A and B are shown apart, each in its own frame.
Chain A
Amino acid sequence: MLMNQLKLYVVQKSTLNFYCCLLLAILLGSISCYGQSQFIAGTVVDDNGKPLQGVSVSVLIADSSLTTMQTDNRGVFRFDNLRTGSSYRFKFSYIGFEDVLTKTFAIADKSENLLIRMKPSQQSLNEVVVVGYGRQKKVNLTGAVTQLSGSELEDRPVSNLAKTLQGLIPNLNINFASGIPISEGNLNIRGNTSINGGDPLVIVDGVAGDMNRVNPRDVESVTVLKDAAASSIYGARGAFGVILITTKTGKSGKPKIAYNNNFGWATQTSSTDFMTSGYEAAILNDTANLRSLGISYTGYTAADYEELKKRINDKEENPDRPWAVIQNRGGKDQYVYYGNFDWWHFLYNQWQPQQDHNITVSGGNDKTTYYLSGGYRTQEGIWNIRPDQSKRYTLRSKISSELTTWLKVTNNTQFFQQKYAFSGSNDFSWGKTFDEHTLPSYLPVNPDGSFTYLTGLNSYRIGNGWHTNQLYGKSKGERDRIDLRNIIDATAKISKTISVTGNFSYSYTSRLSWDRAVKVPYSLYPGVMSIVPTYNTDELSEYRETIDYKVYNLYGTYENKFGPHSLKFMAGYNQEEWKNKEQMASRRDLLSEDLNDLNLGTGLMEVTGGSNEWALLGFYSRINYDYKGKYLLELNGRYDGTSRFKKGDRFGFFPSVSAGWRLSEEDFFRPLSRIVNNLKIRASYGSLGNQQVGNYAYIPIMNTATMNYLMNNTLTQYVGVPPAISPTLTWEKVTSTNLGLDIDMLRNRLSVSVDLYERKTIGMLTKGKTLSAVFGANPPQENAADLKTKGFELSVGWRDTKKLLGKPLTYSARFILSDYTGRITKFDNPNNLLSDYYVGEQLGDIWGYTIDGFFMTAAEANAHSVNQDFVNKRRLSAPGIYKKLQPGDLRFVDLNGDKIINSGTNTLDNPGDMKVIGNSQPRYQFGVNMDLAWNGFDIGIFLQGIGKQDWYPPSEVTSFWGPLAYPYTSFLPKNFSAMIWTPENPDAYFPILRSYIAQNAELSFPNNRYLQDLAYVRLKNLSVGYSLPQSVTRKLKLERCRFYLSGENLVTLTKLDSKYIDPELMSTTPDGRAYPFSSKVFSFGVDITF
């Protein structure tokens, strides 16, 4: 038997440019040959010499996989029948270990035996995380930091980066107040910040920026700095966390062109199957109003109701029974409407198309790299008659060059343009306008083609004329925005240990919006056209804002090792200036209804302006020290000044300290190291400032304005009284304490990270205590209140590879969970008024009454000895018998036994019959991410939700309350009649029908019976992809080609008592008065790399 020694090298894995290259040549054991049998076999062991079972071994010819098998329980593999003379390579991969790729060698006329030694993967240990003004190895982190790579954000048919990040990072809470195509996410890190609000700071490529301006496809990584230790380097703006977004950079190599697209259709997540029976809706609204005000809402007579009844089953208009008839009313011929019209689907688009195209070109040589990308996205909105549409263009050019051996210069240009064009008026508050007065019995268009507006039977306006304006189509507007940003960055390597980075960034933003209103005609009397009174002005107004923003940064880093001691020192200076300028101009009575330019105006003109600026500067420093990689210490500090406070209060010093201990590196831990690969505990404490106050909060500003009082035949110009200002206004201070634990186990397949934190916001700017009204102004803002937020984050991840039908199956799953609660610890409210914050208040607490059911009989209602007048205000002014409590009215529980239901003195000590019935803050926010890839197929599943959130529906949520709130609710749930109490339906959900009682009476007082739990779990995303095998792509001269299908928000499970309401929307916009969410999106796309 001949023994041949073969040297095999582990091939260095191509890694990110910042990876330290680990060049460890592994000398492998002997390889034996067994005469003529021509097989290759071998054993795979770990670095301790123990055999590894289940290692995936592939035979490669010219880098393409021929066959794959797995090692047995002794770590042995064997390939037979390999052709003599061919050149093979072998690839060994095993989760938790670094891949091993052998050198190519020809099979001689003999068999061989290999011994492969695999080294535990350093990947998770070597992972580098972006931190403030630098990068750090993940294992050395001592603060609470989570990083996500850009690849986790792909395939999502959503409009912006914030949407893709929602639910992916524990306690990075993102929500959207509106479904408008240009809506931008509200960001929050770790819950309650300050009662004045407080957003996290977003840094894009090292400079404060806006997440919404970044094309998600350009993102290399997103890092969230959560605690004071991680974010205090950003001082006055890092108080509520920092989000660092790093964009992609070109890699040296031949030019790589990638193109991807996505075509999607969006629709509503909540039901839109509303009542379309004209008769039923009118009778509900009228009955409700008769009992409250004694008058009919619609004004339909008994004869009209007969007509409606005749048509009750006409889904389509029957020519024998037209939906609009001409009748003489009050001496005049007019249209009378008897429809069963589906207004929702007339006004709103059921399927809203969107598409997305991105192309990137990247590459370079060893000195210079480039990354160029362009994106285009278009999305239609929900309007049906004349769809609104947004268009977004993004461009990025990043060129980096090593000018000398020690100097590297990068230029990074970002261009963003967004246009949103809409028809109709500019009321984006999506007010009551949209869901009132569009009863199914009314029609949008008269038989002669003119548009409707008044019914003539009551004084209300059909749909408030929104559809009239839309149908006429001449009123329109646009919201445009351009952002241009350039960052020049130079890094000088002064010596082996010292480097200095300086960068300058200039951003220019231009916002232009215009609105054109024209006079809108309608008809009630056949042949007579009138102008809609609310749309009776012909006006063009233009608004323009430009923003200049300059940022200078200069910082140096010193890094060295002294035996077991590693030291890193960084210090820098930052300075920023921001200034805006606004102009608004308007002109009335234009010469054309179709052209929109101020030059065409002939009537009244108006011009206003405005300008603001702020500046800040700061000195910052960080020291990192570790001993043998076991004991980690980090100190941060920043001395910050802002223009927003007056001299003397302007500067603040914000320090933090954090420490970590990697137990897994200790000798005593060795017995466990087979199971636990990495174990670290961390702790941090730090103090930060919050400068998120007005630009001139300390100056009593007197503004000029005009009012409608006419003096000398012009609008009166005046200078207003300044607000009351406290002389001692200064920074809100935020201290934060964090305890964390990171574990990687079972060959790094399982990773767990837990953080507990407490954040104290001290000296919150608030109006101080409620002052007597005789003060005559809003009480001045003072640093008078404290808040404490406690919470936790948990992240558990698992990834592994298995074999399925002879092919490797890689899968991963990650579960995240976070929670927080906030409590007021100081507030000047000596009487503990519930109308204000009080000490000990848990933020979000809902005070309300208790209801124990309906009165079932008149006798029971009459005999009721508790006075409910306080909560039954509406009843007191009701007509006739409805002035009295009726069967079907709600019975309130007299908690304090004083025989009267009221709020006492509305104080903590005397809340009357109220108690805390729930809490409106979201609890237990979670996300589950699962990925699976096999034989070219990949599946991604993403679930997201919240565990508990109480919500008391405000009166504006008409799809919940129907005519119980307003007697002119348009979009009634289909089953609404069945939900109302009647003697025949004594177990109904809602009480006896009375209008306005959810607006200003019993149902408008929060109570346990109608309190909703918004808890939901939502299949946020499901995507299925297939990548063409290399054998095919090679023929097509492609590097990669993948097709995918993706669905957003496909399934929602919720505890909410209404299918017409989206729990996620209500959690953000409790009154639902927002542009509806169309977040269910079906899409497909392709990803091609040349």
Chain B
Amino acid sequence: MYQYRLLFYFIIILMQVGCKKDFLDKQPLSSLAPETFFHTESDLRLYTNSFYSVMPTAEEIYYESEGCADNTAVTTMTVAVRGARVVPTSGGGWTWTELRKINFFLDNSFRAENEDVRKRYEGVARFFRALFYAKMVQRFGDVPWYSHALDAKDEEGLLRPRDSRVLISDSIMADLDFAVAHLPATKSIDQVTKWTALALKSRFGLFEGTFRKYHTEFNLPGYEKLLEACADASKALMMAGVYAVYTSTPSKAYQELFAFENANPTEIILARVYDASLSVFHDVNFHTLSASYGRPGMTKSLVNSYLMSDGTRFTDISRYDTLQFYEETRNRDPRLAQTIRTPGYTRMGETRPVLPQLSNSITGYQIAKYVTEPTKDAANRCSNDMPVFRYAEVLLNYAEAKAELGILTQEDIDISIKLLRNRVGMPNMNLASANAAPDPYVGNEYKNANGANRGVILEIRRERRIELYRENFRFNDLMRWKEGHLLAAPFKGMYFPRLGNYDLDHDGTIDLVLYQGTKPTMPNPQPQFVMYGDIELQNGAQGGNIITNPLIDKKFVEAKDYLFPLPTQELLINPGLKQNPGW
């Protein structure tokens, strides 16, 4: 019949259209699969690029979070600084996604055809693994070590107990040695090189060496080996002659270094790069100059630490603690005037001097480091590059490691700290006189420093605190030195003998009015008005130093606060994990 024939043809046609072979095989059209990847250099580069997401952002560098410790007071202190940490249910830094990323690469890099290329990018991966574990050790102490990406069915791997930090440190050092051996020696401001690996080795060696030395409660062996590794790595970098301390006019060089649009390749080993033309901005001006983000201000204890410009101690001056802003900022280590606003400070690109604003700085010592031209003051308009690894740190690490090992010589100081002092025109540090008369003021802060080198160790710590201000070192430094009690001390600001009118820069006009009750009227130009109550002074309305966060009790528990707690959910899932002591 006609119909049947037609139907038959119709079905045949439909089958032709429809039943293609592998009709149901649909592979991804716009993404890749591992089997076909990891073969070429470009594959390896593209994958290892993903590791750079852990590099600190500008905010993590200047904002510092708990890193600001007792250096910078802010309106809202982090829980770690306040001593209000609680055991989290999950998270809390116990995050391992970055490690999986890295180990997945190391598990698959064998597919690469070229041996040299493979080793180079394995070097990148192992650098980042060392960086990952260094952070974990700093935060949690003992952690489990994994050298391969875990399989979901690998019960044994998933339920491993923690490995000793001694083992972890050895593994970190091994990774870094591999990275040093295989990473390129060509300088790069934004990619890791042999020099970045050495800088990390120097940084971690010092951390772990001093941590073991001072935290005797953990009975950790072999601090000397780590300090030696730090000194050696630092020395290797110093001897290679690829980096130097940036110098120009002593009264400007330090400030310039952090305001450069493009990181200075002489001193900066690795930077976080920002670029206005790509609209990749950070927020340091707005953060530092507005009331929006915690009103950061340098603390009085740090201001006190800056030496006089002749190398003598400010705190040796009698009644140094009742000197007012104008007097206390005169003739100091030039870095002070390049780090905070002091009388005569002008914004970049301007000539009109500006004074610190108490409304934007909780201590009155308003920060100038990193701050650039006023055209970038709106939120998120800054694009000056931020230092992640800087040669100056390596020099400081070197001197400190040697001092802690008890083998520091004046020559060591001359090839390290002297360079930093020279930049700003400060006299050199003298080993003998430092040890002969340890500074009682700084010595009172670092109670645990001891031994024959105590004096010079105090001086190196002073130097480090000043030089590396606002680069996110301070919290870890206090932890490794076992000086957590400094967090619990009250943070103070400027000294005002009484309420009333102040001429901060001694130019004959009133700049600041501290008042109580009704706001006084003043002739133009209008000064800053600060109502007592918006700030608190040590002796109430009778004057004294500004007390920041007067209502907040801070504490630091020696028995537990040097390490962070593990999340409870993890302890439950893996009974092999034990909580850190005291938590």
Contacts and interface: CB of A to CB of B under 8 A. Distances in A.
Interface of A: 293-295, 299, 301, 303, 328, 330-332, 406-407, 458-460, 490, 492, 494, 500, 502, 530-531, 533-534, 536-537, 552, 554, 573, 575, 588, 603-604, 609-617, 641-643, 647, 650, 695-696, 699-704, 707-722, 724, 726, 768, 770-777, 779-780, 831, 833, 835, 873, 876-877, 879-880, 883, 905-907
A1000 to B, nearest CB: 12
Contacts of A534: 379
Most chain A CB within a 10 A radius of its CB, from B152, B379, B381, B553 = B152
B526 A831 contact: no
A573 B101 CA distance: 45
Contact of A330 (B101, B146, B359): B359
Interface in B66-96: 75-76, 82, 84, 86, 89-90, 94-96
Interface stretch (B223-231, B274-282, B476-484): B274-282
Nearest to A701: B31
Interface in B26-72: 26-34, 37, 43, 46-47, 49-50, 52-53, 55, 57
A876 B275 CA distance: 42
B407 interface: no
A575 B7 contact: no
A458 B291 contact: yes
Contacts of B100: 721, 775-777
A714 B275 CA distance: 9
Contacts of A719: 32, 37, 43, 46-47, 49-50
A602 to B, nearest CB: 12
B338 interface: no
Interface stretch (B175-183, B201-209, B569-577): B569-577
A776 B150 contact: yes
Given A611-B30, A776-B99, A768 B279 contact: no
Interface stretch (B16-24, B324-332, B425-433): B16-24
A874 to B, nearest CB: 11
Contacts of B146: 774
A274 to B, nearest CB: 27
Contacts of A492: 3, 6-7
Q: Is the interface of B mostly helix, strand, loop or mixed?
A: loop
A776 B97 contact: yes
A554 B14 contact: yes
Most chain B CB within a 10 A radius of its CB, from A707, A770, A775 = A775
Contacts of A833: 569, 572
A491 to B, nearest CB: 11
Contacts of A588: 279
Contacts of A647: 25
A875 B223 CA distance: 42
A722 B149 CA distance: 12
- Chain B's interface size range is 35 or more
Contacts of A708: 57, 280
Given A604-B279, A707-B52, A710-B278, 7 more contacts: A494-B7, A613-B29, A702-B32, A707-B50, A770-B573, A773-B567, A774-B99
A715 B280 CA distance: 9
B159 to A, nearest CB: 7
B272 to A, nearest CB: 7
Nearest to B95: A773
Nearest to B525: A331
A905 to B, nearest CB: 6
Interface in B366-420: 378-381
Contact of B152 (A294, A716, A726): A726
B264 interface: no
B437 interface: no
A978 to B, nearest CB: 29
A876 B84 contact: yes
A537 B277 CA distance: 12
B30 A716 contact: no
B58 to A, nearest CB: 10
A614 B26 CA distance: 6
Contacts of A552: 14, 17-18
Contacts of B286: 533
Nearest to B100: A776
Contacts of A776: 96-101, 103, 149-150
Contacts of B10: 490, 502, 554
A892 B427 CA distance: 64
A835 to B, nearest CB: 7
Contacts of B46: 704, 717-719
B75 A502 contact: no
Given A494-B7, A641-B24, A877-B82, A721 B50 contact: yes
Nearest to B282: A708
Contact of B18 (A617, A650, A716): A617
26 contacts: A459-B292, A500-B7, A502-B14, A536-B379, A536-B381, A552-B17, A612-B29, A617-B23, A617-B24, A696-B28, A696-B31, A700-B33, A702-B31, A702-B33, A703-B32, A710-B275, A712-B190, A715-B280, A719-B32, A724-B152, A773-B96, A774-B574, A776-B96, A776-B98, A833-B569, A835-B89
Contacts of A695: 26, 28
Given A330-B528, A612-B29, A714 B152 contact: no
B284 interface: no
A701 B36 CA distance: 11
Contact of B551 (A490, A643, A879, A905): A879
B532 interface: no
A303 B529 CA distance: 14
Contacts of A780: 152
A504 B470 CA distance: 68
Given A709-B55, A720-B50, A613 B359 contact: no
A417 B322 CA distance: 76
- The 9 A-B pairs at the shortest CB distance, nearest first, are namely A776-B100, A879-B551, A459-B292, A533-B379, A718-B49, A776-B96, A710-B273, A611-B29, A643-B26
B3 A494 contact: yes
B552 A831 contact: no
A871 B280 CA distance: 40
B191 interface: yes
B167 interface: no
B191 A777 contact: no
B341 to A, nearest CB: 15
Contact of A610 (B18, B30, B89, B104): B30
B244 interface: no
Given A534-B379, A604-B277, A616-B24, A906 B52 contact: no
A494 B3 CA distance: 6
Contacts of A610: 30
Given A459-B291, A613-B29, A713-B273, A707 B53 contact: yes
Most chain A CB within a 10 A radius of its CB, from B31, B84, B528 = B31
Nearest to A303: B519
A643 B25 contact: yes
A772 B89 CA distance: 13
B290 A459 contact: yes
Contacts of B50: 707, 718-721
B133 to A, nearest CB: 12
A1066 to B, nearest CB: 27
A699 B379 contact: no
Contacts of B486: none
B159 A772 contact: yes
B158 A716 contact: no
B191 A711 contact: yes
Contacts of B438: none
A1073 B542 CA distance: 50
A332 B37 CA distance: 61
A877 B10 CA distance: 78
A700 B34 contact: yes
A554 B49 CA distance: 51
B573 A771 contact: yes
Nearest to A722: B34
Contacts of B84: 876-877
B523 to A, nearest CB: 12
